[in-house]
Amino acid sequence: MSREDEAVCAVCGVTASQRCGRCHVTHYCNREHQRQHWQQHKKLCNPYVVAESSTLGRHILASRDLQPGEIILKDPPLVLGPRQVTVAVCVGCNSPVDGTSQCPLCGWPMCSPECSLVERHLPECQYTQQNRRSKVVITEFFVLNAMYECITPLRCLALRKDAKRWQTLMAMESHIEERKQSKATDLDKSNVIDFIRGYLKYNDFNYEDLYRICGILEVNGFEIPGPNLVGLYGKACLLEHSCVANSTRTFDAEMNVIVRAAVAIKKGDHISTSYTDPMWGTASRQQHLTTTKYFACRCVRCSDPTELGTHFGSLKCSQCGGLIPPNLTPDSNWSCPSCEAIIPHADAEEILRVWGTKLTSLRGNISESEHFLELSKEILAENHHYRVDVKLALVQLLGAQIDSSSKSDAEKLLKRKIQLGKESIDIIDALLPGLARLRGMVQFEVGTSFFELYKMQDKQHRSSPQVLPLLQEACTRLQDAHTILAMESPLQEEYKMARQAAALLTMIKQAFKKCKRK
């Protein structure tokens, strides 16, 4: 090994054999030097390294082995703001508003006078006061309001006062040339630039900077559920995309993004997240990625017509009953691998259009949803994403109907809910492996159903060994749900589910004790 390749102490520069146990990147010749260096090193101590390639650009690799649930990074927001497409909201906290309260200085809607003092509201407030010289007037509420498209870009422009944060922002990918070709920049000009210049009377900015900012928001923005914010993050934006991601992301109460390992990750592995909805079929995911992220995904799932053996987009063969996966070549016919029967491309598209229309017409109706599953099983693969979508919806809908049902009907509903939940979890595990939020939510629903079945037993039977399987299933699934959902933000409904799971587990432990005493 050459001198350049030798590991050297970060403090004194001599050859070093010890390294930081957290990041496995920085080396030391002894523990004393490691302690001396910690205050400086802790800001950079992460279990990953940033790499760069011509195909991926900047991305991150694990610098050591990572275990499921382990935090990879925690990143504060560079910018937070309303989504580009939104109804009128409070520009302080992003809650829906009805126009009864406004910022006393600029007129942008607020949910309360206190929100006018929120720091992230300052940019649009100051730009409005200094340039428009009259308050903003908003008259449309509870419908999409294009006036809000300027808010987050203005907050990005405000970073020019901080050279380091501005540099971090402008280093993000904007795909500006691709957006010009797709005419996305035409919408930027009419909805954002012209509005800022015309309505807010603000002109002190470079057009190209604002075009890039609009692209950066579209390509890099993380949608934050709950408050329905979009955030830009200087480190998390380096996560590359995969339709079978190996990390999960959550947000804490301060809107920091927390990225964790969803599965075991080996040293040197690429760390990925999903830029699209993993529960969409390949065609929908690809359309979303090409139109909003400006690349076509070539991950292992997108390259496999069967989507990792799930047949998430396959049709039933009318000739032999086998499964016909989509042809990944655009506008090509589909062919049955068993009997070689052909479905013309136009026919396959029409089948998907018809069943897609039926899916959107269900609107939460239980009987129609069950009817959809019964009819579609002759046309769509069992695990086709249309069917999985309905199964997941039914897991929620059936639970809401149980309370108003008779005991015998409630038992049937619970068993059906468990069946659908189990089938859904099998697909979730294939497409969203590890500690996926959706897995936690479905496990919670299935686990609570097992416990409800236990509670429906006659009182004298609840402490008998015969009910142990129900308690064991409930316990296992609720423990899994709690492990996953407890990582969510306290602001999220999923976190409340984790607390409910913890309470139910306490009750289950008591029930176990009664059974064992018998």
Q: What is the number of H-type helices and E-type strands within the chain?
A: 16, 16
Residue 509's alpha-carbon distances to 194, 443, 463, 476, in angstroms, are 63, 18, 12, 12
Kindly tell me if the per-residue pLDDT of 1 is higher than 50.
Answer: no
Secondary structure (3-state) at 477:
helix
Residue 260's DSSP bridge partners are 71, 248
Write the DSSP symbol of residue 4. G
Mean pLDDT over all residues of the chain?
93
Q: pLDDT tens-digit profile of 348-396? A: 999 999 999 999 999 889 999 999 999 999 999 999 999 999 999 999 9
Give the integer Cα–Cα distance in Å for 69 and 62.
Answer: 14
467 pLDDT more than 90? no
Asked whether residue 3 carries a pLDDT value surpassing 50, the answer given is no
What confidence tens digit (pLDDT) does each residue in 188-201 have?
Answer: 999 999 999 999 99
**What pLDDT, on the 0 to 100 scale, is given for residue 298?**
94
Residue 146: DSSP 8-state: G
Higher pLDDT residue, 7 or 435? 435
The DSSP output letter for 467 is: G
Give 5's pLDDT tier (boundaries 50, 70, 90): low
* Dmax (CA) of the chain: 79
d(CA 229, CA 238) in angstroms, rounded, equals: 20
Location of structure tokens 């492996």 = 433
Q: Of residues 381 and 468, which shows the higher confidence score? A: 381
pLDDT the model gives residue 242 = 97
- pLDDT score of 117 more than 90: yes
**Residues 141, 184 contacting (CB under 8 angstroms):** no
| Encoded amino acid at 508, one letter | I
Q: How high is the pLDDT of residue 418?
A: 97
pLDDT at 443 over 70: yes
Is the confidence at residue 6, as pLDDT, over 90?
no
pLDDT score of 59: 96
- Please classify residue 416 by burial: count the beta carbons closer than 10 Å to its beta carbon, then call 0-12 exposed, 13-18 middle and 19+ buried: middle
Integer CA distances (angstroms), 170 to 81, 163, 259, in order: 17, 10, 22
Asked if 238 contacts 59 with a C-beta cutoff of 8 angstroms, the reply is yes
Nearest to 231 by CA among 50, 85, 75: 75
pLDDT at residue 516, rounded to an integer = 66
pLDDT digits (tens, 9 = 90+) for 296-318: 999 999 999 999 999 999 999 99
Instruction: Give the mean pLDDT of 470-483.
Output: 97
pLDDT band at 518 (very low <50, low <70, confident <90, very high): low
Share of the chain above pLDDT 90, in %: 81
What confidence tier does 183 reach under pLDDT thresholds 50, 70, 90?
very high
The pLDDT of residue 407 is 85
State how far the Cα of 79 lies from the Cα of 185, in Å rounded to an integer.
Answer: 21
3-class SS shares of the chain: helix, strand, coil, % to 5: 45, 15, 40
For residue 400, what pLDDT band results from cuts at 50, 70 and 90? confident
Q: How far is CA 133 from the centre of its chain?
A: 40
pLDDT at residue 416 is higher than 60 = yes
